[in-house]
Amino acid sequence: MYKTTFVLLACIILVSCNRSAEQEESTQTAAIAQVTERSPETLRQTYAERMAARKSPMPLKQEKSPGRLLPVDEAPLDTAFFVFREDLLDIVAKKDAHRLLAYVDPHIKCSMGSDNGLPGFVRQWNLDSPDKVAGSALWQQLEDVLQRGGVFGPDRQNFQAPYYVATFPGQGSASGLAVINAREVRMREGPSLNGKVIQNISFEIVTILEQSQQEDTIEGRSYPWYNIKTKSGKEGWVYGRFIGRPAGYRAVFEPAGRKWRMTTFLTS
């Protein structure tokens, strides 16, 4: 009873309305109904348009390369899921918490403890007040996950993202390891853009030595710096946006009838 009441209250707060208990039921229904419905023809057209608009798409198949974890994004293999993810990226870009709740499974796994489900998700990410929504850390974390590829599970019963969490070798023994998640990333002598560039790295698996105490905001996004060691033994600092940790945030999406929902969003 508490969980249902909280979900309804969160929806109401996010749209800044005061309504009766009977109207709250309508509010929840309206939120769920905002998942975009498309006819098969419109879905195919939207898919084609979104595919054509992509810049630097990831490969559909992950190539093997010793000491590196190359990118892969299988999302375009499923028309409905690919369009769903593109819709979700639009929602994240607009920081539209009201629409976001319609794309999240009511029983979402968002905690390693007991605070799961949509009420826990709302509490964890400060989505319970319009004053908090815009500054929620959710938008950056979720956008990172959505933009960095992923793979389908068996029979396409789920999609796991980002690619480096879903495909990192030896997950159980990956403590302290990470992957450089982009091409030609600069490794510097110090944790600053003013640090001298030691070398450029692409998709290499590295060892994390330490993390800077403070974050730097670059192009509107804030991350710490990581002191890393490459497979050749060189050490240097890399900006956190380009560090993919297998223990970092991950998402799982599953189909619910003809629609997809985010069923997991957490960090280890």
Mean pLDDT (the chain, rounded): 87
Domain match, 45 and 163 both: yes
Q: Which domain holds residue 236?
A: 175-244
Q: Are residues 88 and 209 in the same domain?
A: no
How much is the pTM?
A: 0.85
Residue 189 DSSP code: S
pLDDT band at 34 (very low <50, low <70, confident <90, very high): low
pLDDT tens, residue by residue, 40-73: 999 999 999 999 999 889 999 999 999 999 999 9
Residue 120 lies in a domain: yes
Both 27 and 159 in one domain: the answer is: yes
- Distance, in Å, from the CA atom of 237 to the CA atom of 188, rounded to the nearest integer, reads 5
pLDDT at 19: 37
- Residues 15, 49, single domain; the answer is yes
Same domain, 53 and 153: yes
In which band, very low, low, confident or very high, does the pLDDT at 212 lie, cut at 50, 70 and 90?
Answer: very high
Same domain, 204 and 260: no
Look at the chain and report how many structural domains it folds into.
Answer: 2
CATH number of the domain residue 240 falls in: 2.30.30.40
Q: 66 and 110, same structural domain? A: yes
pLDDT digits (tens, 9 = 90+) for 179-200: 999 999 999 999 999 999 999 9
Are 164 and 194 members of one domain?
Answer: no
Please, which residues bridge with residue 23 across strands?
none
The per-residue pLDDT for 32 is: 45
Q: What is the pLDDT of residue 70?
A: 98
- 145 and 260 inside one domain: yes
Which residue in this structure is represented by tokens 């998640």?
Answer: 181
For residues 60 and 147, membership in a common domain is answered with: yes
Residue 191 lies in a domain: yes
Region of residue 121 (phi > 0: left; psi between -120 and 50: alpha; otherwise: beta): alpha
Which letter does DSSP use for residue 118 in this model? H
